[in-house]
Structure 1
Amino acid sequence: GQPVVTDAPAPRARGSIASRPTLVTTVDVNAILHNVEHGGKTIVDARAPDRFRGENETIDPVGGHIPGAKNRFFKDNLQADGRFKAPDQLKAELKVAVGDPQDAIMQCGSGVTACHNLLALEVAGMPGAALYPGSWSEWTADPRRAVATGAA
């Protein structure tokens, strides 16, 4: 019951977007394939442990994880009240899963919660890890890529 307008409105002002360097290094699927075959980097998956083990895949067509990956559920970075744990506690916990962040790649289902682990590393004073933004969704898009199940 409202009027319909078919004319496109003219823009009010021009934007001013400036290109800047990324905040973290990103890697593509070819880097992950190379790492699966030759090693050298620790791949850390931020998804829930049951999804990592391949017991409960709610989004992607295949359950499991990238071969050789470790699991660090992003919610393990938080206290019961939802705030990040103290930097020293995060550092102690993240060293187990990540090791040297300079040699680590964060991933998850689609690249989003991997960023939570990247932020936790920053809070812990452990910068330098890379992000695989394609993550599990991209990895499983090609059925020729290996899939691991169970605990790492």
Structure 2
Amino acid sequence: MAGPNSDPIVSATTAAQLPPGAVVLHVEAGDRQSAEAAFAAGHVEGAVLLVRDEVVTRPMRPGDGRHPLPSAEDLADALGRLGVGWDAPVVAYDRQHGDNAAHVVHLLRLLGQDARLLDGGLAAFTDPVATGPGTTPTAVAREPRPWPADMLPDIDAVAAHAAAGGVLIDARAAERFRGETEPLDPIAGHIPGAVNAFYGDNLTPDGTFRDPEELRARFAALGAGPDAVVYCGSGVTACHDLLAIERAGLGRARLYVGSWSQWCRDASRPRATGPA
């Protein structure tokens, strides 16, 4: 199992360095056609394509954020069809630096799966990449497990947490946090009381994660720990910060799935702009 003190990041530049028996997931956002084209252009040999919006999110409904979670049953069915059984270690990567794969890894770890993020993504892999459609995964039986509600606070719980002075971390870029720009949601700004920790700053210039000691200094200064709540625009890149907090040895913080995309659409919620 992926315990709260295990490093969620795995450094592997060759297939031989991957955990034995691991299911390797190549994570793509967007529609299936573009995801399949990107996968065919280059992937880790033996990897399975996971289209994020078909597996770990469901369509947005009124009152949701942009990437709500699927039901436990739908998730189990989708992962089973990709060959991801409960007993298999999982390594996920993307073509960025974990922007999308971190979302998959964090959610799987919440459910008790041994899941880790491939440090540096596809660019860090030094074995020749495979091209073409890849092989069809062998489906496995996977029983659903309920989402842990205590680790996924809803909008009311987040409001109460913020009002009580709890640690609330916004993983978006600083200009979005300050409300200077908002390319995706209808209103700019941040949740009052939040502090900003842009997920991209978890990385070194070469696109790999900073050492645990550096991350600990960064997030401990913000008060990060198991009671902290992390959000972003839609609950995706917040998971990058959540893995960084785990890597730092500060425990497993909580994810606000609805994030700013849900909060800003609710006229009853206060909004802030400017620095923290």
* Cα offset, 1:100, TM superposition: 4.2
Aligned residues between the structures:
138
The answer as to 2:201 corresponding to 1:73 is no
* Cα offset, 1:34, TM superposition: 1.3
1: CA distance between counterparts of 2:193 and 2:215?
22
Given candidates 79, 82, 92, the residue that maps to 2:217 is 92
Per-residue CA shift, 1:76-119, capped at 9, x if unaligned?
Answer: 1000000000110110111112x141220010000001100011
Unaligned runs of at least 5 residues, structure 1: 1-12
Report the counterpart of residue 19 of structure 1 in structure 2.
144
What is the DSSP-based 3-state SS (H/G/I as helix, E as strand, rest coil) of the residue aligned with 1:35? helix
Structure with more contact order per residue of length (Cα contacts < 8 Å, sep ≥ 6): 1
Residue identity matched to 2:179: G
Report the counterpart of residue 52 of structure 1 in structure 2.
177
Residue identity matched to 1:121: I
Unaligned runs of at least 5 residues, structure 2: 1-137
Report the counterpart of residue 44 of structure 2 in structure 1.
none
What TM-score does the superposition give when structure 1 sets the normalisation length? 0.84
The answer as to 2:225 corresponding to 1:101 is yes
Identity across the alignment (%): 48
* Cα offset, 1:126, TM superposition: 1.4
Larger Rg: 1
2: CA distance between counterparts of 1:80 and 1:67?
31
* Cα offset, 1:67, TM superposition: 0.3
Report the counterpart of residue 118 of structure 1 in structure 2.
242
Q: How big is the alpha-carbon RMSD for the aligned residues of Structure 1 and Structure 2?
A: 1.9
What TM-score does the superposition give when structure 2 sets the normalisation length? 0.47
Per-residue CA shift, 1:32-77, capped at 9, x if unaligned?
Answer: 12123333x2110000000000001101111010000000000010
Report the counterpart of residue 4 of structure 1 in structure 2.
none
Report the counterpart of residue 135 of structure 2 in structure 1.
none
1: CA distance between counterparts of 2:250 and 2:162?
24
What is the DSSP-based 3-state SS (H/G/I as helix, E as strand, rest coil) of the residue aligned with 1:109? coil
1: CA distance between counterparts of 2:163 and 2:204?
37
2: CA distance between counterparts of 1:115 and 1:129?
10
